[in-house]
């Protein structure tokens, strides 16, 4: 498949994912739309191009692993999984219902290939480091991907894991930081400054790559570079929270607020027309 065709395919998938996210959270009347919408393009690339995985064989031993550390954005993962064939998209309507496999934070017990349960922020990278080290010890070639928020880099445990990844030479570990500059109570740089984030990772001997989280050509190129690294890799993906919906974009207030009926209607109309062009 040529690059232009691939990009069109990935854009289409991301748009479907965004619609799913909004419908799921509206139906549940609970959830976190801003971060999920902001990562739709990255998840489109991961599930429909980058990762080696078999939806019909979710426990395939040589599959690439994906750890979602910031579990509250799980609607983006649920949609990507459903649309790639892990389960029927109709199940997306059960988000956050009692007894559903699609809980508000993912559970590896309930859903195949989720890999790890998540809720408390700052834990996922340690889990991913353990998985990547296990692959090395077992002489396996699979990659371990870890998606994490920028806000959870406030946690000291994240930096312990970052140092451990260097110590163990985990060149099979690729971390994607959702650099959207917001967390639940405001902007990251006002709450607990992270900059210069790239220099901090470099100081721990990581290969640091930067990309827009919404430019598919950039994302494809940066993942290609990441796959040929001799060090742990972090991709700092600059994203817009609420991407695609004009009244949600860049506003931390939408971190954990579901849309009402009129807001859902407006958002879906914008996505039908290609999403916000701000």
Q: Report DSSP state, residue 82.
A: H
In a domain, 278, yes or no: no
Please say if the pLDDT value at position 188 is more than 90.
Answer: no
Could you list the residue range(s) of the whole structural domain that residue 73 is in? 3-272
CA distance 119 to 139: 30
Domain count, the chain: 1
- Residue 173's beta-bridge partner residues? 144
- The CATH number covering residue 264 comes to 3.40.50.970
Q: In what order do the strands lie in the sheet with 144-149?
A: 65-68, 144-149, 173-179, 233-238, 207-212
Strand blocks (E) in the chain: 65-68, 144-149, 173-179, 182-183, 186-187, 207-212, 233-238
Q: Report DSSP state, residue 258.
A: -
In a domain, 277, yes or no: no
Contacts of 273 (CB under 8 A, 6+ apart): none
In a domain, 192, yes or no: yes
For the segment 157-167, what is each residue's pLDDT rounded down to a tens digit?
999 999 999 99
Question: From the CB of residue 247, how many other CB atoms can be counted at a distance below 10 Å?
Answer: 13
Residue 215: band (very low, low, confident or very high) from pLDDT cuts 50, 70, 90:
very high
Contacts of 238 (CB under 8 A, 6+ apart): 179, 180, 210, 211, 212, 213
Inter-residue contact 235 to 175 (CB < 8 Å): yes
Tell me what percent of the residues of the chain surpass a pLDDT of 70. Answer: 99
Please say if the pLDDT value at position 252 is more than 90.
Answer: no
For the entire predicted model, the pTM comes to 0.96
Please say if the pLDDT value at position 278 is more than 70.
Answer: no
**C-alpha gyration radius of the chain:** 17
Query: What's the pLDDT at 22?
Result: 98
**Chain-centre distance for alpha carbon 194:** 19
């Amino acid at each position: 498949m040529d690059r232009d065709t691939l990009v069109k395919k990935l854009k289409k998938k991301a748009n479907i994912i965004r619609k799913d996210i909004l419908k799921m959270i509206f139906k549940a009347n609970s959830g976190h739309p801003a971060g999920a919408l902001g990562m739709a393009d990255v998840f489109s690339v991961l599930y429909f191009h980058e990762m080696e995985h078999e939806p019909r064989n979710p426990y395939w031993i040589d599959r690439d692993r994906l750890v979602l550390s910031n579990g509250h954005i799980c609607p983006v993962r649920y949609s990507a999984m459903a649309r790639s064939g892990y389960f029927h998209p109709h199940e997306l309507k059960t988000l956050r219902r009692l007894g559903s496999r699609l809980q508000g934070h993912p559970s590896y017990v309930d859903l195949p290939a989720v890999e790890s349960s998540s809720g408390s922020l700052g834990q996922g990278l340690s889990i991913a480091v353990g998985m990547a080290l296990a692959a090395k010890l077992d002489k396996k070639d699979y990659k371990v991907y870890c998606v994490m928020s920028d806000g959870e880099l406030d946690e000291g445990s994240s930096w312990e894991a970052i140092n451990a990844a260097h110590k163990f030479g985990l060149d099979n570990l690729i971390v994607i930081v959702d650099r959207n500059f917001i967390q639940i109570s405001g902007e990251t740089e006002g709450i607990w400054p992270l900059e210069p984030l790239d220099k901090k990772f470099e100081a721990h001997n990581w290969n640091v790559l930067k990309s827009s989280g919404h430019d598919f050509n950039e994302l494809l190129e940066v993942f290609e570079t990441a796959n040929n690294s001799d060090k742990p890799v972090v991709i700092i993906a600059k994203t817009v929270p609420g991407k695609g919906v004009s009244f949600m974009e860049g506003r931390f207030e939408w971190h954990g607020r579901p849309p009402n009926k009129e807001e859902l209607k407006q958002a879906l109309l914008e996505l039908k027309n290609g999403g916000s062009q701000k």
